[in-house]
Amino acid sequence: MNTKRTAMILLAILGTGGTGPLSLGAEHASDSSSEAVEYMIVVTGGELLAGAFPDSHTVFLTRTLRPLGLNCVGSICVDDGAQDIHAALKFALARVRMVIVTGGLGPTQNDITRETLSDFTGIPLEENEEVLAAIERRMGTTRDRLRSNLRRQVQTPVRGTYLKNVSGSSVGLVFDLDPRVVIALPGPPSELQPMVRQSLVPWLAERFGTRLPGAALTIRFVGVGQSQIDQTMQEHIPLDSDIIVQSQFEASRVDFTFLLPDDTPASRARLDALREQIQQHLGEYIYGIGDTTLESHILQRLADRHQTLAVAEAGSGGCLASALAGTDGADTVLAGAVIACDDARLGRLVEAEANRLREAAGDEARADLLAAGVAGHFHGDWSVAVGQLQRSPDGAPHVAVAIRSPDGQTTMHRVALRGTDPASRSHLTTRLLDLLRKRLP
């Protein structure tokens, strides 16, 4: 459906044509004395309405907050324009006392959620000294050298608070309309989800008296589908009825979280026993527990062995190096990375022997030479080389991948490509990291 058409329909239902500060009759507000906290979610993003990406935020938020005593009564997906967001907010706040808005807090020009919520609520924004100091540390620069688009990310509501972001620069925002509240969270799941667990949940407990999480166990899988995990657990690992199970799937990575209402030694012991059972049946696919990412898992394994990694990429467009470089600990492990459009240019960058590269019989042989070349160029103990895009006789795109260990042994892989869009790049990144994970001792 056309997003403007959607906004017009919503505005007609609400009977509003204005975009000024919030003005709602008290008769429409939820009863603040009710025991359960009812809330609604407003997911912003034209790409969601166009079908480019699924809405994963609603699933994550409802599964995370429901065990804590928060009841979601509706979720609205709208275009990321001011008029659409205004209409959704007025609709939601006429029914509930808390609205969670996702997306639009980034540094780009079309990230307008921060200013739109300020305009809607009538709560001004001002630079927050704590947030400004944090972004100075994160960017490794002083405030006078911060780009203007980053500087606007330090603005927080004068009436409300902010939620720390451990994975990015966009803090969450809380606009306090006592007794109602509007909460804004960043769009990337890698930023939103840790923020909810570490910052939003404790704030909700303080503000609304909701339960804090009980005992929880999150197990992170790669290289296996969600349905296979479900089936394996049904066949081999029966769960007690009081264990709440949540699952999240993104970019070929699957997270399963198991929760018990009370955080007691007995509950933690039960979850430890469950973890051992899952490890027994699905251990080859587990890369982390808790908040460990696949990237941090790889870097930590290399750091534990005091080894480094060099990367050369053609057909993957630098997605592997980008994923690793943006992870804490990369400065001590990532020896260097080069990116080029094809094998020949990549070879020149890593000073691979040109004649041997030209004469190499096939893309796998070239990837092998590039892996050796980039390892020597950056003095990396391990190296990964991703060759240029190739097509099979049936037209299917793929890349050759070479992984070289410190002893000079190379394993070769042929990895199929789904496409060049961001989602496909994320899948490819996961595949490359998983190949390296399996190779590391």
Structurally, the chain folds into a number of domains equal to 3
* Average pLDDT taken over every residue of the chain: 87
* CB-CB contact of 157 with 125 (8 Å): yes
The better pLDDT of the pair 310, 421 is held by 310
pLDDT in the model for residue 297:
97
Lowest mean pLDDT among 58-62, 74-78, 129-133, 134-138: 134-138
User: Does one domain contain both 270 and 320?
Assistant: no
- 416 pLDDT tier (thresholds 50, 70, 90): very high
User: Does one domain contain both 188 and 235?
Assistant: no
User: pLDDT tens digits, residue range 144-160?
Assistant: 777 777 788 889 999 99
Classify residue 346 by burial, with Cβ atoms within 10 Å: 0-12, 13-18, 19+: buried
User: Does one domain contain both 326 and 396?
Assistant: yes
User: Does one domain contain both 16 and 115?
Assistant: yes
- 313 pLDDT tier (thresholds 50, 70, 90): very high
Last residue of a domain, one of 193, 208, 223: 208
User: Does one domain contain both 152 and 56?
Assistant: yes
User: pLDDT tens digits, residue range 58-95?
Assistant: 988 998 898 888 999 999 999 989 999 999 999 999 99
CA distance 33 to 37: 9
Q: In this structure, what CATH number is given to the domain that contains residue 352?
A: 3.90.950.20
Last residue of a domain, one of 260, 289, 318: 289
Asked whether residue 181 carries a pLDDT value surpassing 80, the answer given is yes
Q: In this structure, what CATH number is given to the domain that contains residue 127?
A: 3.40.980.10
Q: Average pLDDT, stretch 13-37?
A: 45
Q: Is 204 helix (H, G, I), strand (E, B) or coil?
A: helix
User: Does one domain contain both 340 and 267?
Assistant: no
Q: In this structure, what CATH number is given to the domain that contains residue 253?
A: 3.30.70.2860
Q: What percent of the chain has pLDDT over 70?
A: 91
pLDDT in the model for residue 15:
37
The Cα-based distances of 122 to 41, 172, 258 in angstroms read 20, 18, 40
User: Does one domain contain both 400 and 430?
Assistant: yes
Conformational region of residue 229, where left means phi above 0, alpha means psi within -120 to 50, and beta covers everything else: alpha
pLDDT in the model for residue 8:
34
For residue 427 the two structure tokens come to 């899948």
Lowest mean pLDDT among 26-40, 376-390, 393-407: 26-40
Conformational region of residue 429, where left means phi above 0, alpha means psi within -120 to 50, and beta covers everything else: alpha
- 218 pLDDT tier (thresholds 50, 70, 90): very high
Residues in the chain: 441
User: Does one domain contain both 51 and 90?
Assistant: yes
- 250 pLDDT tier (thresholds 50, 70, 90): confident
Asked whether residue 201 carries a pLDDT value surpassing 60, the answer given is yes
pLDDT in the model for residue 384:
97
User: Does one domain contain both 110 and 160?
Assistant: yes
User: Does one domain contain both 372 and 276?
Assistant: no
User: Does one domain contain both 147 and 256?
Assistant: no
Range of the domain at 329: 294-439
Last residue of a domain, one of 190, 208, 226: 208
User: Does one domain contain both 279 and 409?
Assistant: no
Give me the residue label for tokens 């943006």: 326
- 143 pLDDT tier (thresholds 50, 70, 90): confident
Q: Is the pTM of this model over 0.95?
A: no
Asked whether residue 16 carries a pLDDT value surpassing 50, the answer given is no
The Cα-based distances of 143 to 111, 135, 161, 261, 331 in angstroms read 21, 8, 21, 44, 23
Could you check whether the bond before residue 179 is cis, i.e. omega within 30 degrees of 0? yes
Asked whether residue 3 carries a pLDDT value surpassing 60, the answer given is no
- 137 pLDDT tier (thresholds 50, 70, 90): confident
